Amino acid sequence: MHLTRLFSATILHRKVWFIWLLLGVLVPAAFPYLTPWEEDRTIVEPARAQAAWQMLWLAAMTWGLFQGAGFGEALSRQGLGEYLASQGTGKSSQLGQTWLACLLWKLPMLAAAVGICLFWASPADPVESKAWFWLNLQYAALFLMVFAALLLLAIGLASRIGQAGGFFLAFGLAAYGLVGVKFLATFFDSEKGVLLETVWTFSPHYHLADLTERLIFKSGNLPAGDFGNISLYLAALLAVHLAVSWFCFTPRRP
């Protein structure tokens, strides 16, 4: 796992992760007091949870994907991947170790978001608190599947077309799957057609992993069946992203 250690040390040395981690704590602390909380104190907890998870998504889809794309480009464009290949570290191992290094440094940020929600924003009612606990664990699992899939794509694409290209393609797909598909749904509800239905079907529905709305309205955790179906869908997306990333990834200068 020498490549994972190398890239982990690089992330640690750059210290950008610490800035995002700090923002992930400070923004949820301040954001609720920008709302009319004095009129209704019950909105403080949902607002804090919303800020915590939105900061996590923002960090993952910007810094997280950009970091992965940078490492993907470094492997192919700077000769590092070719050198490691000559030493017996194959294509799959390089892709996996690079992915793992970036994913590991998102875990403290994920832990911070979950911790803020559980210890600083949990409802006082015992029944709501229990549902809140399980909802945040479900959210964490779904978030990891989406980020892991997009990170693989950013690394694989960047090794072939460069950091900027790999990042913007992965980020654009993330924005479409998280936000754009929701706008597409409004057209799909009002006007159905074969083309629109095909686009909707084959779109990556990353938004299924975004449970922020359930936190805001304290809707409780997802039923086991719904959570299982969403998990299976996102796991299938992860497998597709892995296949595309492996196909695109090259440890040698293209």
Segment 76-82 shows an average pLDDT of: 88
Q: Tokens 């490691």 appear where?
A: 84
DSSP per-residue string spanning 4-45 = HHHHHHHHHHH-HHHHHHHHHHHHHHHGGGGS-TTT-GGGHH
pLDDT, one tens digit per residue, over 174-198 is 999 999 998 887 776 666 677 778 8
218 phi and psi, to 5 degrees?
50, 50
Domain ranges of the chain: 2-248
Using a cut of 0.85, tell me whether the model's pTM lies above it: yes
pLDDT at 184: 82
User: What pLDDT does residue 189 have?
Assistant: 64
| Weakest-pLDDT range from 1-5, 9-13, 40-44, 52-56 | 40-44
pLDDT tens by residue, 92-142: 999 999 999 999 999 999 999 999 999 999 998 899 999 999 999 999 999
| Averaged pLDDT, 213-217 | 94
State yes or no: pLDDT of 199 exceeds 90. no
- Per-residue pLDDT reduced to its tens digit, 19-74: 999 999 999 999 888 877 767 777 888 899 999 999 999 999 999 999 999 999 99
pLDDT tens profile 231-250: 999 999 999 999 999 999 99
